[in-house]
């Protein structure tokens, strides 16, 4: 149940943010800018992803609220600067969704999800006013996510391997090329090519590279912390153990965090 003094609804959230930014509002909120909010906005996005990974509906609801607060706050800052309002934001995305779904809101016909994706990309390209299907992908995207998006867009116009076996063969080729180089500059380039090929393989396997690496990092973190805990309980120093002894602890941790 909502607090008796707490207003309800989206419009009330907009009013609350405006008041926080107002003359008698919160000092922290009043001094924020689009730029100053960038780190916390990114953090909120990752917290939403974490809630999704955890399958926690209540946590997801909370984190989506935090993310929505950021959107409204950015819109309020823009309103004060005479750029746009939250109504412009809502109207803009509504118009865009209708325009990009002519098979739902118009007379267009599609046969499957692939047709929808091709139509979507064609419409987006026209909106961007560019000839390149790779345009508009933000440079600031995480590198794995951006490389997967680049490859996905290229594949939609037919620039892709014929089958997964070709992709796996390319991985082997990139590994061999990395092993053969000695120059550091070439090593960086070849390692980048290998990562790019791995992302391509992930796309073929319907795996999100960013999510897969995030999950692998979490598993490593949990397993390593478990190893440290085992050492503390056994009166051992992890750094003083041999590689073989550390490997045994790692195998114990893998049983707890598979």
CATH of the domain at 19: 1.10.287.1080
Q: Give me 179's structure tokens.
A: 């092993």
pLDDT at 121: 64
171 three-state secondary structure: helix
Q: Are residues 25 and 57 in the same domain?
A: yes
What pTM value is reported for the model?
A: 0.61
Does residue 239 belong to any structural domain of this protein?
A: yes
Give the pLDDT confidence score for residue 100 in this predicted structure. 82
CA dist 72 and 44 (Å) reads: 14
Question: Is residue 215 included in any domain, yes or no?
Answer: yes
**Total of domains in the chain:** 3
Residues 80, 18 share a domain = yes
- Predicted local distance difference test score (pLDDT) of residue 53: 86
Residue 123 lies in a domain: yes
Position 179 in a domain: no
Q: How far is CA 205 from CA 102, 173, 200, in A?
A: 30, 19, 9
Domain-embedded: residue 66: yes
The per-residue pLDDT for 162 is 92
Q: Which residue has the tokens 């779904």?
A: 101
What is the pLDDT, as a whole number, of residue 8? 65
| pLDDT for residue 105 | 87
Torsion angle defined by CA atoms of residues 88, 93, 96 and 97, in that order, rounded to the nearest 10 degrees? -150
How confident is the model at residue 4, as a pLDDT? 43
Domain that holds residue 132: 105-136
pLDDT at res. 134 = 79
Q: CA quadruple 121, 126, 38, 195: dihedral positive or negative?
A: positive
**Domain ends where: 98, 127, 161?**
98
- 141, part of any domain: no
Q: What is the pLDDT of residue 30?
A: 96
| Per-residue pLDDT tens digits of the chain, which is 258 residues long | 344 444 468 999 999 999 999 999 999 999 999 999 998 998 999 899 889 988 999 999 999 999 999 999 999 999 999 999 999 999 999 998 998 888 888 877 777 776 666 666 666 666 666 667 777 778 888 888 899 989 988 888 888 999 999 999 999 999 999 999 989 999 999 999 999 999 999 999 999 998 899 899 999 999 999 999 999 999 999 999 999 999 999 999 999 999
Query: Which of 69, 98, 127 delimits the end of a domain?
Result: 98
Q: Is 86 domain-assigned?
A: yes
pLDDT at 129: 61
Closest CA to 39 of 83, 77, 70: 70
Is 225 inside a domain boundary?
Answer: yes
**Burial state string for 162-198 with b = 16 or more CB within 10 A and e = fewer than 16:** eeeeebeebeeebeeebeeeeeeeeeeebeeebebbb
């Amino acid at each position: 149940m909502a607090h008796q003094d707490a207003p309800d609804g989206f419009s009330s959230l907009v009013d609350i943010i405006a008041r926080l930014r107002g003359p008698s509002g919160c000092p922290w909120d009043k001094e924020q800018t689009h730029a100053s909010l960038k780190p916390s906005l990114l953090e909120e996005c990752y917290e939403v992803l974490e809630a999704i990974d955890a399958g926690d509906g209540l946590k997801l609801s909370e984190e989506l609220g935090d993310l929505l607060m950021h959107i409204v706050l950015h819109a309020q800052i823009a309103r004060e600067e005479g750029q746009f309002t939250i109504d412009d934001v809502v109207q803009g995305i509504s118009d865009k969704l209708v325009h990009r779904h002519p098979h739902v809101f118009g007379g267009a016909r599609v046969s499957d999800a692939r047709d929808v994706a091709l139509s979507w990309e064609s419409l987006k390209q026209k909106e961007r006013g560019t000839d390149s299907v790779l345009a508009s992908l933000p440079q600031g995207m995480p590198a794995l996510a951006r490389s997967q998006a680049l490859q996905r867009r290229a594949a939609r116009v037919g620039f892709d391997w014929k089958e997964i076996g070709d992709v796996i063969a390319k991985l082997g080729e990139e590994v061999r090329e990395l092993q053969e180089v000695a120059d550091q500059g070439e090593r960086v380039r070849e390692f980048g090519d290998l990562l790019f090929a791995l992302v391509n393989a992930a796309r073929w396997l319907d795996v999100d590279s960013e999510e897969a690496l995030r999950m692998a990092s979490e598993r490593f973190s949990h397993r390593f912390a478990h190893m440290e805990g085992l050492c503390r309980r056994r009166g051992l120093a992890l750094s003083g153990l041999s590689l073989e002894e550390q490997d045994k602890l790692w195998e114990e941790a893998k049983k707890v965090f598979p």
